[in-house]
């Protein structure tokens, strides 16, 4: 017994030595410091190009923080759009579990996106007014990528594509998004294929209008399915997504109230009034109204 224990201990020590050897060798290897053409990091991340995009229009120090925060949000809008496109394709292929996982990822992105507003929570009206006039008619209202998100959620409006008519590629993408079924349309089509009574699809270019049959369907989903089942998980993830999107709208509203009060928006919108009206529109409305009946 003793000899077997010794042999076993020797094998363990030998294995441990072999595992430590590469790690010890790695400790003595210096990182690569010379590259033929820039660094692989910059080739991948394009950090130099990104940092060159902060072209402020004034010398006011606070403007740079405003610009960087806005650009970060635009990057997140693009990321979320690509994820929702993927989720929509999966839903159309009846891959509910995969689609739900992608949507859950996008909920995490909204947590980071919403946190971006904190970077501007210090901005007072005096500080914002110091550079606001220099922005001219530029306004977040004109964000094409944000408009894509609204259209994917079913908040369709043809007039909101018009500011982009002079940018043909952007305008075409937006008009295509307006005319395609929304993410919620794909969810409802899935429920119809699963045997729920869903109203026939209308014109996808029109804003989604809540329907009692859809509310009935969600009530059934929660009554007939439980935690962990795919339709239940999809419903809860969509509710999370709706809540986080509403959080973004609310934080936007509060940032505007804090930095400029009820002044008209720089792009000609009614500013605070417009944001308050947007905040009152529920995303996936029947998922919320169904809860009263559960």
User: Binding site for heme: which residues?
Assistant: 252
Structure tokens at 179: 């005319």
Among 90, 114, 93, smallest CA distance to 101 is for 90
Q: E strand or H helix at 32, and its extent?
A: none
Q: Which three-class secondary structure state does DSSP give residue 114?
A: helix
Please give the Cα distance from 205 to 228 (Å, whole number): 34
Please give the Cα distance from 206 to 217 (Å, whole number): 22
Please give the Cα distance from 243 to 252 (Å, whole number): 14
- DSSP notation for 211-245: -HHHHHHHHHHHHH--TTSHHHHHHHHHHHHHHHH
Cβ neighbours of residue 102 closer than 8 Å, sequence gap 6 or more: 83, 84, 86, 87, 90
Please give the Cα distance from 174 to 168 (Å, whole number): 10
Residues at the annotated binding site for substrate? Answer: 132
Residues at the annotated binding site? Answer: 132, 252
Cβ neighbours of residue 200 closer than 8 Å, sequence gap 6 or more: none
Cβ neighbours of residue 220 closer than 8 Å, sequence gap 6 or more: 196
Please give the Cα distance from 291 to 294 (Å, whole number): 5
- What value does the CA radius of gyration of the chain take, rounded to a whole number of Å? 26
């Amino acid at each position: 017994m003793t000899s077997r224990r010794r042999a076993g201990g020797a094998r363990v020590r030998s294995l441990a030595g072999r595992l430590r050897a590469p790690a010890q060798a790695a400790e003595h290897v210096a990182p690569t410091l010379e590259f033929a053409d820039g660094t692989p990091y910059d080739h991948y991340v394009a950090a130099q190009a990104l940092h060159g995009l902060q072209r402020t229009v004034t010398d006011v120090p606070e403007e740079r923080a405003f610009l960087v925060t806005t650009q970060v949000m635009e990057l997140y809008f693009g990321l979320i759009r690509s994820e929702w496109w993927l989720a929509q394709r999966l839903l159309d292929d009846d891959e509910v579990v995969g689609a739900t996982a992608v949507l859950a990822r996008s909920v995490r992105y909204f947590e980071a996106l919403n946190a971006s507003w904190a970077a501007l929570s210090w901005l007072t009206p005096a500080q914002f007014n110091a550079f606001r006039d220099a922005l001219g008619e530029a306004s977040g209202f004109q964000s094409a990528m944000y408009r894509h998100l609204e259209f994917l959620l079913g908040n369709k409006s043809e007039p909101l594509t018009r500011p982009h008519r002079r940018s043909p590629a952007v305008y075409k993408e937006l008009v295509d998004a307006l005319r395609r079924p929304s993410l919620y349309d794909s969810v409802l089509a899935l429920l119809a294929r699963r045997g729920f009574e869903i109203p026939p699809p209308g014109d996808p270019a029109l804003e989604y209008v809540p329907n009692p049959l859809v509310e009935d369907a969600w009530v059934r989903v929660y009554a007939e399915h439980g935690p962990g089942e795919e339709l239940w998980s999809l419903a809860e993830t969509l509710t999370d997504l709706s809540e986080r999107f509403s959080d973004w709208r609310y934080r936007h509203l509060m940032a505007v109230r804090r930095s400029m009060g009820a002044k008209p928006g720089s792009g000609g919108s009614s500013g605070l009034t417009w944001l308050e009206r947007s905040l009152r529109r529920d995303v996936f409305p029947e998922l919320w109204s169904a809860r009263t009946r559960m």
